[in-house]
Structure 1
Amino acid sequence: MTEHETAAARSRGNLLTLEAGEYRAEISTLGATVESLTVGGRDLLVRNPETGPMLFYRGAVIAPWPNRIGDGRYTWDGQELQTPITEVERGNALHGLISFQPFAPVTLAEDEVVLRSELYPTTGYPFHLLLTVHHALDPEAGLTTSVTARNIGAADAPFGTCPHPYLVAGPEALDTWTLQVTAGQVLEVTADRLLPTGTADVTPGSEFDFSAGRVIGAQEIDHAFTGLARDAQGLWRVTVTAPGGTGVELTAGEECPWLQLHTADRPEPEHHRLGLAVEPMTCPPDAFRSGIDVVRLAPGGEHEASWSIRGW
C-alpha cells in the first residue's frame, strides 16, 4: 500500500494505493471512496475529475441508507424525523450521510486497507454508528469491499448500505455493451421523483429481462431489482461485456437482496452514459419510509455487507 498526494487527494482526502497481481486500486480517506480500479491498466470504473468534489457518487460507499428517502422525512419507533434534502430537484434525501465524511486508516497493507469513521447523531438521524470499510485486492477475485456498522448509541437504529460504482466494460460506448443479470422483480417508480410505487414481475422478453445477456442499446435504466438468481455459494452477479471482449462483473451475497442499475443518463454530454451504475443494496429505495428490509441495529449490534468487482 502506498499513500500519495495529488490535486485529487487534496480535494477528496488522501489516496491510498492497493496492488495485487494485475489489479490496482486507489482508495480515498474521504468517504472510503474507490477512486479508481484497474486491471492490466484498464479502468473498470468511471473516475472522478482530478480536482473538485466527487461527482454523482462515483465509487462512493453509501450509508446509513441507500438510494433516496422521499421528502427526507421518515418515522422510526414513533419519532418523526427530517433529514436534509440533498436531491433538490426531486425533493429527496439521497445516498445517506457518509460519502464526504473523513475516514481514518486502521490497517494498511499492500493489498488491503481498513478505514473507520464515527457517524454522530444529528436531528435527521439521531443515532450513533461506528462504520468500518475494508477494501481488499486479490489477483483473481479483484476488489472486495465490506462495510460493517456497529451501533454505539443507546437506541435501536435503522440502517442500510450499498456501494455506488459505475462499471466500465471497455472503451466502446455503453450502448454497445451486453448486460447480463437475472432478476425476478423490478421496482416501479414515479417518473418525476423515482419513488417506488410497487414491484412488477420481470417476464421473459420484457424490457428488463437481461437473463440471457442483451445489448443495452439506447435503453435508459434507473431501477431497482430483486428476486436475484444466486449460485451455489449464494451469490448473485451482474456482468457487463464490451464488443472487444473486455468486461467487468460485480457479485454480492444474501445480505444485499436488492440491486439498483442506472445507465448514467445525464444532460451534460461529457458525463452522459459513461458507465453503468451497479449498486447492491441491503434495502430498496425509500426503505426508511416503507420499512422494507431496513436493518434494525440494536445497541451494540453489528451488520456487515460485502461485494466484489473483477474485470478482464
Structure 2
Amino acid sequence: MHEPVPATGRQFEITSGAARAVVTEVGAALRVFEVDGVPYAESFDADRLPPGGAGGVLVPWPNRVAGGRWLFDGEPQQLALTEPARQNAIHGLLRHTAWTLVEHAESTVVLHAMVPAQPGWPVPLLTSIGYALDEDGLTVTHTVENLGARAVPFGVGVHPYPRAGNAETDDCTLRLAAATVLPVDADRLLPVRPPRGLQGDEVDFRTGRRLAGVLLDTAFGGATPAPGDGLVRHSLTDPNGRGVQLWADPVFKWVQVYTAGEFPGRGRAIAIEPMTCPPDALNSGVDLLVLQPGEDWIGHWGLKPF
C-alpha cells in the first residue's frame, strides 16, 4: 500500500541560511516562508486545502470572470462556476492541479503544469513557477507558454498572505503602491465602473494605514514603481517598523487585498495579491496579456523581510 498523501500532495522544502520555504505539489502554493523561525507568510496544514486560496497560483486568469462567460475570437466560452455562490469562475484553472516537479535543489524548486484546451479555455498553455531563496528573501518566477495555434489572452496572479512576523494583523500598517481603486458590486464583487483615483479616498493606502477595523476585498490599480525604482513595492509593517515587503515586476499593475476574518490558527490575516489584470479582464480586456503561438512570458515577484 502507498503511504497516505496530504491533501496538498508532496511538500517541497527549500532553505538558504536562516530562510526556509515550503511549496506544495497540489497548486504549487507557498505554504511556509520564514526566516530564523519568524513567519513572513501565513502557513496552513499540509493536509487541508489552502484556506482562502492561500498561496495559490492564479493562471490563466486571476480573480473573477462574470458568469464564467467570455468571448474568444467571437466564440462564446463557458468556464466552470468555481465560485458558485456568486455565479463566477474564479482564480484560474490550476489551484487544485498536481504540478510536476522539474527541479529541486537546496534553495530552489521549480514546478510546471499544463493548462489543456477544455470547455471555457480553447488554447493549451504550459506554465511553470520557480521559488528561490537567498539573502534578500524569496523570489518567485512565473512563465507561461502558448502551445496552441492561435494567439490567446491571459492573466497571472498569486494569492499570498504576507505577515509582519509575529505581530497581530490589526496592529500592522499596510502600504500599497496603487493609485486607483476598482468599484465593484456588493453581491458578486464584479466591476461596475472604471477605476477611480484615490485622492482623499478612505481606501488610499499609499502612505500607510493601520489595519484595525479595516475590511477589504478590493482591487487596486495603477500600481507602479516609485521614481528611480524598477519594481512595484507593497509592504506590511509592525508597530516597531519591521515587516515584509511584497515586490513585483511593473507588469503586475493590479493588487487585490483581502482581509480574512478567521485564517486557521491565526485569526485576522491579510492577502496581498499581485495581478497583471483586474477582475473580469477576460471580458473587459483591461491589461490582458496576449501570447502568440510558440511565445512565452516571464514575470517575477517576491517577499523581502525587513
TM-score (norm 2): 0.93
User: In the alignment, does 2:145 pair up with 1:150?
Assistant: yes
Shift of 1:10: 2.4
Q: For residues 271 and 159 of structure 1, what CA distance do their matches in structure 2 show?
A: 35
Question: Is the 2:224–2:250 contact (alpha carbons within 8 Å) kept by the matching residues of 1?
Answer: no
User: In the alignment, does 2:96 pair up with 1:103?
Assistant: no
Q: For residues 96 and 276 of structure 2, what CA distance do their matches in structure 1 show?
A: 21
Shift of 1:130: 0.8
User: In the alignment, does 2:98 pair up with 1:68?
Assistant: no
Amino acid at match of 2:290: R
Match of residue 164 from structure 1: 159
Shift of 1:243: 2.2
Match of residue 308 from structure 1: 302
Match of residue 132 from structure 1: 128
The 3-state SS of whatever aligns with 1:146 is: strand
**Corresponding pairs, count:** 303
User: In the alignment, does 2:144 pair up with 1:181?
Assistant: no
- 1:261-301: CA deviation from partner (whole Å, max 9, x where unpaired): 11124xx5857853211111111111011111111111101
- 1:141-162: CA deviation from partner (whole Å, max 9, x where unpaired): 2111111010111122221111
Shift of 1:245: 4.4
Q: For residues 263 and 225 of structure 2, what CA distance do their matches in structure 1 show?
A: 36
Among 40, 48, 52, the residue aligned to 1:56: 52
Task: Evaluate the alpha carbon distance shift between residue 286 and residue 130 of structure 1 in structure 2; reply closer, same or farther with a 3 A threshold.
Answer: same
Question: Is the 1:184–1:227 contact (alpha carbons within 8 Å) kept by the matching residues of 2?
Answer: yes
Shift of 1:244: 4.6
Shift of 1:302: 0.9
Match of residue 192 from structure 1: 187
Question: Is the 1:172–1:242 contact (alpha carbons within 8 Å) kept by the matching residues of 2?
Answer: yes
Question: Is the 1:46–1:274 contact (alpha carbons within 8 Å) kept by the matching residues of 2?
Answer: no
Q: For residues 218 and 273 of structure 1, what CA distance do their matches in structure 2 show?
A: 14
Q: For residues 246 and 205 of structure 2, what CA distance do their matches in structure 1 show?
A: 15
Q: For residues 60 and 99 of structure 2, what CA distance do their matches in structure 1 show?
A: 15
| Aligned residues with identical type, % of pairs | 36
Amino acid at match of 1:257: K
Question: Is the 2:162–2:272 contact (alpha carbons within 8 Å) kept by the matching residues of 1?
Answer: yes
- 1:36-91: CA deviation from partner (whole Å, max 9, x where unpaired): 11111011111222422222210111100000101100111101000000111111
Match of residue 253 from structure 1: 249
Match of residue 89 from structure 2: 93
Shift of 1:172: 3.4
Q: For residues 133 and 300 of structure 2, what CA distance do their matches in structure 1 show?
A: 13
Runs of 5+ consecutive residues of structure 1 not aligned to the other structure = none
Question: Is the 2:51–2:263 contact (alpha carbons within 8 Å) kept by the matching residues of 1?
Answer: no
RMSD across aligned positions (CA): 1.9
Runs of 5+ consecutive residues of structure 2 not aligned to the other structure = none
Q: For residues 265 and 188 of structure 2, what CA distance do their matches in structure 1 show?
A: 21
Q: For residues 57 and 269 of structure 1, what CA distance do their matches in structure 2 show?
A: 11
TM-score (norm 1): 0.92
Shift of 1:173: 2.7
User: In the alignment, does 2:202 pair up with 1:202?
Assistant: no
